[in-house]
A and B are shown apart, each in its own frame.
Chain A
Amino acid sequence: MIENLNVIVATDCGSTTTKAILIEKKGAEYRQTFRGEAPTTVEAPFEDVTRGVLNAFAELEELSGRKILDGEKVITPAQGDTGVDIYISTSSAGGGLQMMVAGAVKTMSAQSAQKAALGAGAIVMDVIASNDKRLPHEKIERIRDLRPDMILLSGGTDGGTVSHVVELAEFIGAANPRPRLGMTFQLPVIYAGNKEAQGRVSDVLKTKTALRITDNLRPLLESENLGPARQEIQNLFLEHVMAHAPGYKNLMAWTGIPIMPTPGAVGEIIQTAARKDNINVVGVDIGGATTDVFSVFDGVFNRTVSANFGMSYSISNVIAETGIENIMKWLPFEIEEADIRNRIKNKMIRPTTIPQLLEDLILEHAIAREALRLSFVQHKALAVGLKGVQKQKDISESFDRAAEKETLIEMNRLDLIVGSGGVLSHAPRRSQAMMMMIDAFQPQGVTMIAVDSIFMMPHLGVLSTINEKAATEVFEKDCLIYLGPCISLTNSGKYGSQCLDCVITYPDGKKQEESLLFGEIKVFALREGEKAEVEVTPARQFDLGEGKGQKITEEVTGGVVGLVIDARGRPLDLDGSKGKESMDKVLSKWNRAFDAYPE
């Protein structure tokens, strides 16, 4: 915790843009005041990240009137209109942190290792496990071909299997992998497995790799200990990956605290927010190349990255994964499949273009829904309880056991969904962002939906590690834009049947009553910060999370879009054949309910 911070400058060095924000203490509270950005300069011809940072600072200086730089040096501490108290930064430039993880059992130590790497902000390129059904030479080829920034090796509880872990170490040794950056350096390998295998693993790997040994991340079947491995990953990220990326040595000298990987920082602020209000949160950041999903449920943090779901570089992969028919079902107009395919590929090859026609915007929003949905499916599959707990079983039994399907993400206990990334933060109408998130995540019961206004979650995440108060104040006041609460069914039913009655009582005593049929969605006026009491009574076959036919009464706070009551059922079914109307008419009705697009 660093006290006495009055002026903070923070940057996030992304793959394409370096974003700088200024946070100042105004009276007793911290506020984000100015923002500047410039293209990231990690690639040729500049090959020096600090150029982009200096350009972003120059824009901040111009807008704020504060002198931040003395030549190429950040002025500290702040005095009047000159200088800042601290400079902090995150980075995902140059492809971020790319890791490979290995563990003895796919659903046990390998999965814990995957969680540790993801939580530290890495993209996991592959998970190697003793029981992943690949032949040894296939594993070795894979390790050699992928060229990760580092490898995390785990396996075995303390006192458990030694041979499986040493076998994995032998595979890594035989592959003799080279790091992605800094050709002359040895690849960093972190060993966080059975402590009794430390010596043997060291014998196999110490001469071939830059081996680090840390505490076992799965010391017992019943518990994970991901902290030490995550810390070691972040240390190595700075020492090896960042130190070999162009210009980072200088940047590291400028910052007051170590540079964090961008997704690791976003995870920090989501955890901080969940902890402060004791709520369950899902956060998503949909970028051009990747989509990150974060969740905190009952205090348990999980992060996943869907490395090839995004809105520009990876847009085509969303179609490859979900199928073109799943995109077309979201379009309220007729269009030929070949035409859509060409449009999407043209966006992929010219990723910086923006939709000019309304039809193109609606198409991008359709793809975003699928990218978000698929990323969330992947997240739910990884955010699970520990495997191997509660049942007495030996390791060989675990080998054949299919992954249990129990996810920690219980949709009707989710309090807040936060969306970030261009397609959500910069949607021309906020209601479009809200619709995309409701359609993709399909919340149940009562859930608040919000967006990150100008993508400052990474900056606030790294700030939260030194001053939680400043980070949470800015997060709530300037970062989040509350779109509104969404009240949804948890089950499905017959289209057009009487579904629910609601009564909204506003603070001035005014009441609004409405009935919804199954398949309808409505938006009610409830301004940002305005509170209202909502009483919703479902018909006897419908459930709002309290049981079939059970009424719910909640005090809700409004947002810039309003209060949404969603009677379309879960899972959301877009099969038009079940209703009397064609699906494009139904979609148009839903869009009109949100006033989502110009008519």
Chain B
Amino acid sequence: MTHAYTPGLRLADKLQIRKDRNLPLPGDVIVNKGDMVKSDDIVARTNLPGKVHSVNVINRLAILPNDLRKNMLKKEGDSVVKDEPIAETSPFIKMFKSICLSPITGVIESISDITGQVLLREPPKPVQISAYIDGRVVETIENEGVVIEANATFIQGIFGIGGETTGELQVIVNSPDDIVKPEDIKEEHRGKIIAGGSIIYFDAIIKALDTGVKGIVVGGIRDKDINELLGYDLGVAITGSEDINITIIITEGFGQIRMAQKTFDMLKHREGSVASINGATQIRAGVVRPEIIVPYNEEDTAGELAEEISTESNESAGISIGDQVRIIRNPNFGVLGKVKNLPSELQTIETEAKARVLEVEFPDGRTAIVPRANIEAIEG
């Protein structure tokens, strides 16, 4: 057996990216195939149905369900404004008249003569979808959305919080080992996406928020600091919708972990360009990892061939002797090395579990036996 199947994160200096930009409900696509778009351009829009409110009219008017319709002033589909009468009784003596007012501005959705309930719906809420990345519209799907294509630097993170945002990329430390400190974050970083080294602590995150930084890309973070930032313990790993005014992507893991040199070099190389990042992470079947996309100008890459995005899952790439790997569990968590040996027989590890292992050689010549489940491939 010379192969091991291990997860790995995608990392490419130039990749042909295709992004689906779909509406949550059918609507209008407002760009055409072939158009060049900027990340914040609107490409499609629709209206989400408004909130539904219910009013129990028979209780309000003290009438029977069967009498509801004859007391209604409005019928299904009629528009109403807030505090407009929607039903009233017509008693013999007028001072005993009861009136039921609309709690909202909207339309009458339904009138039930079983429950006496009238459902009203607020006006639809417009929703717009932006292009998210600078690129070209290569496909439009009528009423649904578009596909944007761009040649871009593409880096997958391991975990993130916060949704889509864009900004100029700026590396603010000198080495992937460096800690991002509050004093590294300056006024000039307002509206930018800053990238750093091995870890950022809570005080520096707050400084970034106060400064108006749009995103942070860093090797590691402490769970304790995320907890403090969100105000709650992050339970299930489904993120991206946090309301925190900043997007944070970690590339390596929790704790202080040196950012992979290749990732750092790539970010440094694209410094000054506009990056589109998304912290959304889902660790379930159908995994979603956070992403950093830095498109190239089409003119800059004219005539060059970008690597096509692989349709094969890179999470099933094989590992062979000589491959670069990273250890992703204690001991030696985060350390890089080369595969020296891939023994096929099961070996007993410290916990006494029998596992398939491999031998890793570190740059200083030391070697270690590591369960194959505890390494990931480093591309390149």
B109 at the interface (CB under 8 A from A): yes
Partner of B373, one of A93, A200, A353: A353
Interface size class of chain B, counting residues whose CB lies under 8 Å from the partner chain: 35 or more
Within 8 A of A (CB), among B196-253: 222-224, 227, 232-237, 253
Partner of B112, one of A44, A166, A355, A359: A166
A95 at the interface (CB under 8 A from B): yes
- With A42-B285, A170-B117, A341-B223 given, is the CB distance from A352 to B373 under 8 Å? yes
Contact with B along A338-358 (1 / 0, CB 8 A): 110111111011111111111
- With A44-B313, A174-B119, A426-B353 given, is the CB distance from A350 to B235 under 8 Å? no
Partner of A352, one of B7, B51, B284: B7
In contact, A357 and B235 (Cβ under 8 angstroms): no
In contact, A137 and B222 (Cβ under 8 angstroms): no
In contact, B329 and A355 (Cβ under 8 angstroms): yes
In the complex, chain B residues whose CB is within 8 Å of the CB of A360: 329-330, 351
Partner of A358, one of B114, B223, B350: B350
A429 at the interface (CB under 8 A from B): yes
A338 to chain B, nearest CB (A): 5
Total A-B pairs, Cβ < 8 A: 165
In contact, A429 and B352 (Cβ under 8 angstroms): yes
In contact, A357 and B331 (Cβ under 8 angstroms): yes
Within 8 A of B (CB), among A84-126: 93-95
A410 to chain B, nearest CB (A): 32
A326 to chain B, nearest CB (A): 13
In the complex, chain A residues whose CB is within 8 Å of the CB of B286: 43-44
In the complex, chain A residues whose CB is within 8 Å of the CB of B333: 346
In the complex, chain B residues whose CB is within 8 Å of the CB of A356: 329-331, 349-351, 370-371, 374
Residue of B nearest to A359 (CB): B330
Q: How far is the CA of A115 from the CA of B181 in the complex (A)?
A: 53
A530 at the interface (CB under 8 A from B): no
In the complex, chain A residues whose CB is within 8 Å of the CB of B350: 356-358
In contact, A338 and B222 (Cβ under 8 angstroms): yes
- With A44-B313, A162-B114, A313-B237 given, is the CB distance from A136 to B374 under 8 Å? no
Residue of A nearest to B114 (CB): A166
A598 at the interface (CB under 8 A from B): yes
A487 to chain B, nearest CB (A): 28
Within 8 A of A (CB), among B325-359: 328-331, 333, 349-353, 355
Q: How far is the CA of A428 from the CA of B349 in the complex (A)?
A: 10
- With A45-B312, A356-B351 given, is the CB distance from A349 to B237 under 8 Å? yes
In contact, B285 and A316 (Cβ under 8 angstroms): no
Q: How far is the CA of A151 from the CA of B330 in the complex (A)?
A: 44
A321 at the interface (CB under 8 A from B): yes
Within 8 A of B (CB), among A171-207: 173-176, 200
B127 at the interface (CB under 8 A from A): no
Between B255, B312, B376, the greatest number of chain A beta carbons within 10 A of the residue's beta carbon is seen for: B255
B174 at the interface (CB under 8 A from A): no
Interface size class of chain A, counting residues whose CB lies under 8 Å from the partner chain: 35 or more
Q: How far is the CA of A408 from the CA of B281 in the complex (A)?
A: 40
Q: How far is the CA of A175 from the CA of B54 in the complex (A)?
A: 12
In contact, B119 and A170 (Cβ under 8 angstroms): yes
Within 8 A of A (CB), among B130-189: 158-159
Residue of B nearest to A426 (CB): B353
User: What DSSP secondary structure best describes chain A's contact surface?
Assistant: helix
In contact, B351 and A428 (Cβ under 8 angstroms): yes
In contact, B254 and A349 (Cβ under 8 angstroms): yes
- With A167-B115, A317-B236 given, is the CB distance from A354 to B285 under 8 Å? no
B190 at the interface (CB under 8 A from A): no
In contact, B253 and A346 (Cβ under 8 angstroms): yes
In contact, B7 and A338 (Cβ under 8 angstroms): no
A163 at the interface (CB under 8 A from B): yes
In the complex, chain A residues whose CB is within 8 Å of the CB of B63: none
In contact, B114 and A200 (Cβ under 8 angstroms): yes
B311 at the interface (CB under 8 A from A): yes
In the complex, chain A residues whose CB is within 8 Å of the CB of B81: none
- With A166-B112, A308-B235, A355-B351 given, is the CB distance from A136 to B329 under 8 Å? no
Q: How far is the CA of A317 from the CA of B227 in the complex (A)?
A: 13
In the complex, chain B residues whose CB is within 8 Å of the CB of A163: 65, 114-116
- With A43-B286, A163-B114, A341-B223 given, is the CB distance from A350 to B254 under 8 Å? no
B53 at the interface (CB under 8 A from A): yes
- With A43-B285, A94-B285, A352-B373 given, is the CB distance from A316 to B353 under 8 Å? no
A381 at the interface (CB under 8 A from B): no
In contact, A166 and B115 (Cβ under 8 angstroms): yes
Partner of B285, one of A16, A349, A350, A358: A16
Q: How far is the CA of A319 from the CA of B233 in the complex (A)?
A: 8
In the complex, chain B residues whose CB is within 8 Å of the CB of A45: 311-313
For this complex, 17 residue pairs linking A to B, each with C-beta atoms less than 8 Å apart, are A15-B284, A43-B286, A136-B119, A166-B115, A167-B117, A170-B112, A170-B119, A313-B237, A317-B235, A320-B233, A321-B235, A341-B224, A345-B223, A346-B333, A354-B329, A354-B355, A428-B351
Residues of B within 8 A of A (CB): 7, 49, 51-54, 65, 109-110, 112, 114-117, 119, 121, 158-159, 222-224, 227, 232-237, 253-255, 281, 283-286, 311-313, 316, 328-331, 333, 349-353, 355, 370-371, 373-374, 376
Could you list 16 further interchain pairs (A-B, Cβ under 8 angstroms) beyond the known A170-B110, A317-B235? A16-B285, A95-B285, A137-B51, A174-B52, A174-B109, A174-B119, A320-B233, A338-B224, A339-B255, A342-B255, A346-B253, A346-B255, A349-B237, A353-B371, A356-B331, A360-B329
For the complex of A and B, list the 5 residue pairs with the smallest distance between their C-beta atoms, beginning with the closest: A317-B235, A320-B233, A320-B235, A136-B54, A341-B223
